[in-house]
Amino acid sequence: MSVEDPSFAPVSRALSALYSNTDRHTKQEAGQLLEQFQKSPEAWSTTHSILVSHALPLETKLFAAQTLRSKVIYDMNQLSDESKLQLRSSLLDLLVAYKAGPKIIVTQLCLALANLAIQLLSWHNAVQEILTVCGNDASSAPIILEFLKVLPEEATDVRKISLSEEELRTRTVELLQDNASFVMNLLIAYVESASTPKSSHALIFECLNSWLREVPLQMVINSALLNLVFQALASDDLFDSATDCVCSMIRETRDVDETLPSISILYAKIMQLRPRIAASKDLPEDFKNYTRIFAEAGEAWHMLIARMPKDFRGLVEAIAECAAYDDDLEVVQYTFYFWYLLKQMLVLDRYDTAKRELHDVYLSLIDIIIAHLHYPYDERNGDLFGNDKEAEEKFRAFRHEMGDVLKDCCAVVGASNALRKAYAKVDECYQTQQAGENVAWQNFEAPVFSMRAMAREVDLDETHVMPQIMDLLVRLPKHKKILFAVILVLGRYTEWTAKHPEYLQIQLQYITGGFSENDSEIAGAAAQSMMHFCRDCNSQLASYFGQIKGFYEQVAQKISLDSLYDLTDGVAHLVAAQAIENIYASLKSVCDPIVERIYVKANGPVDDSSNKKIADEMDLLDTFARLVHPPILNGAINPCIQYWMETWPLVDLLLSSRGQSTAISERVCKFLRTLMCSYRNDFYSMLGMVAEKLVAGFEKYHYGCFLWASGIAVREYGNEYSDKNIQEAVWEFAYRQCITTFTYMSSVNLGDIPDVLEDLFRLLSNLVSNYPYKFIPSELCKPSIEAAVAIFGTEQKEPIFTAIDLLHDILSYGFSTPPTSRISFNESGDRYYDAEVVPAEVQSFIRGIVLSEGMNLTKQLFFGLLYTLPRECVSDAAGILLVIFRLGELPASAQWVQATLDMLPAEAITAQEKFKYVSAVESALQGEDMNRLRRQTMDLVGWYTRRNVTPRSDIKRIGDIRDQKVGYA
């Protein structure tokens, strides 16, 4: 077919539209047409015609090359055996024709040829034949090296093609392992040949890098390639590719005991590079590559460093030198994992000698990290980061990563020594300022931040440096940044303060002073620190409850909502710390003002703003319900329940008058859920009222939150620990809720109610878990399975996850062993784990459903796997499919699979591929090898979706090739 053939005109117009100034809709249509063309059988001949043409533009040829590559990967089923051999010949001819470039097209052709070599099992001498066809002259080196570079990469990503595991394993051995020595010798020959163009040396390194996993490392180290790679680090053109090679060689020595001879040689070579660290500080890209090399060596050899610290000390010092780089913190980040790995070794008793040997290096690392923690000194446009919010957030996040390195330092040198470093820097700044000199706030803030990062490593009994720190912090200048940092530090050391209460009063004064600052960040920090103080020092603060409650009421309406939540959390901990006889009064005193505010708002205007404010206030009550639940002994009345009973009219009012607001319904349900989880058996007196509200709420509003809270009730009160009457009442209530929901579902589109479905499936899963032998024979079982399977066609991610869990829970009872052990009680009341088999009638019931619905279940699951399920769900859904096969048994399961595969488009899957999978199902069910069938199912789903469903390639990239080199020079 000629490229002028009218059948190519639509593709030509689509390419033109895609890269011209057309509207978005036209571009989308063009992209869709090109995707359809790529999958069509006609694309084989059309792409070849384009590639042999001399008249067409480069963009069109690149599209043809990409299409040819994708068709080799996904559409070999469209070709006969004879056509596959013809394709091999045409690809080899095209590769020779494009010997001089453009490189971007040669790469696509090499990718196509590599994937053909993997799949064409009868091609036994692929590597040698390609070399023969391309020739041995210098001009052929680039295309041969390009092919050899991509072959291992493609061979390790073969899940996208439809070969069996055995075929893949055999093919990988034949193409890679059997050719490793040959390729190695070829690369050496290219290196030593004077006729090999210098421009090909980078490609030689890239090829070597690709084959390093297949070639014995010692062979590389003993060859001329090793010196050439390290010499290339001095070449601007080869630096990146040589760096990649060095790093790959280092990674191949991670098994240090097996590769000691190689490590010895590589270590000597790498340490010769150390002077270049300082020499390249003004060359960011060079410095980054050297840091990569040293950090990679440290990570690979950290065990040897711990064993032989004197021999490897130079490497550790070199990495510390890299970590001191202050022009690009991302480069510094390359070293972080090394410090963590080495710390993990040094904290072991057997490496105490190494810890002492490297103690000073880690001490110097603390100075380095604190230096990096400094905010910029110069403001730009009135802002430290020049109003670049992304740069500011990036720096803030990076500070916390550096905080982790400080923790590693603490573990090695001891927290007291590490803190002393930070304290000395703060004290020096303080003394300098006291002497009348100006000190930038950044010089205070950075070491103070480091104290916060190291807090969790400090022993609670530390008295060497912590008292000095606490005395100094509260005397620092009240600059906003310093104040913010100090408040957060005090909040981080509250556990230490609890054991040293003499510092409590002054720290609380300092923190509460933060609320008077006209700064939301400082107020937020103060609220967070106050929360930690109330959590960790509640016994010491219990007597201050009245003062703190008054303070809470004073600032509650002045601070941000997030800060109010933190402060409420702290106050709730104080209430919980009160003596049992004071709990009711304390709880009432702090919650009554909240309840009163809600009543006022509830009787006011009905609008979104007031509803949101009510919902936020309900979250405050939820905090108290979550945190204040004192232990009640001997059947006494829980004082908290006494108070929450008094607030019940508020719940009734909100659901009846404002329940149409999802915000209010959800917060009220969250509050009811918290009550159930916090008070368990003490909540029996309120459980009936809650159940009625949940049923009525769903009937009236159809919000999923009512089902979610119902599921919590089943989980908390439907288990073996609850009173038998309560268990029965909960079953009846949940049964009503589910029947109501099924009725509602029949009148709506399932895709429109994802939240309802997700919460329903969680409720049903809780019913199956707690009432399996009531649930399965009931009217709920079959509709539950049908609903779970139906959701697979909606592309609703979260409901699908819960549907899969539900199906697993239900179908597991089709086997003799229950999915989980159940706790039972003997006649004496002692607990034991019930290991009895699932009753035969229950197994029979589940198998009966599967046999009657097996065809539909198989079809829905298969089509979900192939077309609609999110990637994260595929593995679990495939597991459900295999359960259905096991329950259906032979020959039914094989028939369901065959019928389902026959529904797929003929061009999407061949008869041979169908036969292979059906045979795998039969073999697995006969031999009980379900693990292998799972892998085969995942493979089928993988190559089918890549071939027929997902986009083949990023077509838009074609338009960018004008900016790329088109040749090899």
Strand locations in 40-195 (E): none
Dist. CA 832–CA 886, nearest whole Å: 30
Q: Are 416 and 454 in contact (CB under 8 A)?
A: no
Q: What is the DSSP string of 316-339?
A: HHHHHHHHT--S-HHHHHTTHHHH
Regions in the chain scoring below 50 on pLDDT: 1-3, 832, 956-966, 968-969
Q: Encode burial over 908-938: b for 16+ CB neighbours within 10 A, e otherwise.
A: bbeeebbeebbebbbebbeeeebeebbebbb
Q: Which of 302, 414, 416 is nearest to 359 (CA)?
A: 414
Dist. CA 87–CA 109, nearest whole Å: 12
- In this prediction, residue 115 carries a pLDDT of 94
- In this prediction, residue 969 carries a pLDDT of 37
The region, left, alpha or beta by phi > 0 then psi within -120 to 50, assigned to residue 439 is beta
Q: Which residue has the tokens 């996993």?
A: 213
- In this prediction, residue 372 carries a pLDDT of 95
How confident is the prediction for the chain on average, in pLDDT?
91
Q: Which of 227, 405, 228 is nearest to 319 (CA)?
A: 405
- In this prediction, residue 564 carries a pLDDT of 95
- CA-CA-CA-CA torsion for 932, 933, 939, 940, nearest 10 degrees? 160
Q: Sign of torsion, CA 917 920 924 930? A: negative
Q: Which residue has the tokens 């089918």?
A: 944
Dist. CA 454–CA 459, nearest whole Å: 11
| Three-class SS state of 901 | helix
C-alpha 231 chain-centroid distance: 40
Dist. CA 254–CA 299, nearest whole Å: 8
Tokens of 180: 């490793």
Per DSSP, helices labelled H in 556-627 are: 561-576, 580-602, 608-627
Q: Sign of torsion, CA 249 251 255 260? A: positive
Q: Are 340 and 407 in contact (CB under 8 A)?
A: no
- In this prediction, residue 517 carries a pLDDT of 86
Its pTM stands at 0.86
**Own/partner pairs, 547-553, CB within 8 angstroms, 24+ separation:** 548/574, 549/586, 549/589, 549/590, 551/512, 552/590, 553/593
Q: Are 184 and 221 in contact (CB under 8 A)?
A: no
Reduce the secondary structure of 745-777 to three states and give it as a string. HCCCCHHHCHHHHHHHHHHHHHHHHHCHHHHCC
- In this prediction, residue 700 carries a pLDDT of 96
CB 805: neighbour CB atoms within 10 A?
18
Dist. CA 267–CA 250, nearest whole Å: 9
Tell me the pLDDT tens digit for each residue of 76-114.
Answer: 989 999 999 999 999 999 999 998 889 999 999 999 999
- In this prediction, residue 557 carries a pLDDT of 86
Crossing angle of helices 24-39 and 9-18, rounded to 10°: 140
Per DSSP, helices labelled H in 224-335 are: 224-232, 239-251, 260-271, 275-279, 284-300, 302-307, 309-323, 329-333
> Could you tell me the CA-to-CA distances from 498 to 504, 540, 545 in Å, in that order?
8, 7, 16
Domain parsing of the chain, residue ranges: 850-948
Q: Encode burial over 359-371: b for 16+ CB neighbours within 10 A, e otherwise.
A: eebbbbbbebbbe
- In this prediction, residue 965 carries a pLDDT of 44
